[in-house]
Amino acid sequence: MRVLAIMLALAAGPATAADKIFFTTEDYPPYNFRVGEEIKGAGYAQLLLMMKDVGIDYSIEMMPWARAIALAQSEPMHCVFTAAHIPERDKLFKWVEPIDVGRNFMVAAKNSGVKVKSIDDSKSYIVGTQRNDYTQTILEKEGFAKIDLATDLKLTLKKLTSGRIDLMPMSEQHYVELVERGEPVEAQFVFSQQTFAIACNIDFPDEIRDKMQASLDRMIADGTQARIFQEHDLRYTDFGQDKPTP
């Protein structure tokens, strides 16, 4: 009996050790961003409360988006946030959602002379985005021929304002922040609408994912998520289309 007990304990050991979740993210305000050595944001705040409920060891690391999402796709206990849940990614991950529901605008530099009203209007221009971002997938699916890829969105924005590219898609929240900071950008039209989520590896344990989802559902139901949005000053623009709700 003692031998059997030892064998069972040894067998249980690796499973317990594996119950650490590795979260990856990028600098993507207002959902996740760095202030000095600290990570903040509306998505980050929801994740912290979620994991307090779940009670499992975890770590969070900020890195370039291409690496962050690649780890979540290849490593069983890895999740990435804040990720857009688009059809092309649906079967690649297990999802915890919604962290938010938002829109992307197609944006030009002010005084650039670029005026477009639709995706078709935009296809003759050079459009920039971040490599492996979901907007790259949308641009490719829509048949854009002139796509300029950068390592991060900050570099893409520099290219836009310096005239090296003509257009770039960006989240509504990021656009609002840029306008308030006085950046010379101008929204042209609503490019896409998407659910923002936590995307976990396809082999991520269902039991843990379900606990995370239940915690998020409670945050939405009791108003915690709405308070987090308010605390992080998430605001939306009147751009001819109502902002969707979770």
**Amino acid in position 231:** E
Instruction: Give 35 or 237, the one with higher predicted confidence.
Output: 35
Helix, strand, coil percentages (3-state) for the chain, rounded to 5, are 40, 30, 30
Which of 143, 128, 150, 126 lies closest to 66 in space, CA to CA? 150
Q: What is the CATH number of the domain that holds 30?
A: 3.40.190.10
pLDDT tens column, 164-197: 999 999 988 889 889 989 999 999 999 998 899 9
Q: In this structure, are residues 191 and 106 in contact, taking their beta carbons and an 8 Å threshold? A: yes
Say yes or no: 6 and 94 in one domain. Answer: yes
Cα(198)–Cα(59) distance, rounded to whole angstroms? Answer: 14
Report yes or no on 111 lying in a domain.
yes
Report yes or no on 175 lying in a domain.
yes
Say yes or no: 178 and 87 in one domain. Answer: no
pLDDT tens column, 45-63: 999 999 999 999 999 999 9
Residue 111 DSSP label? T
Q: In this structure, are residues 115 and 200 in contact, taking their beta carbons and an 8 Å threshold? A: no
Report yes or no on 217 lying in a domain.
yes
Report yes or no on 242 lying in a domain.
no
What's the average model confidence in pLDDT over 1-5? 40
Say yes or no: 51 and 168 in one domain. Answer: no
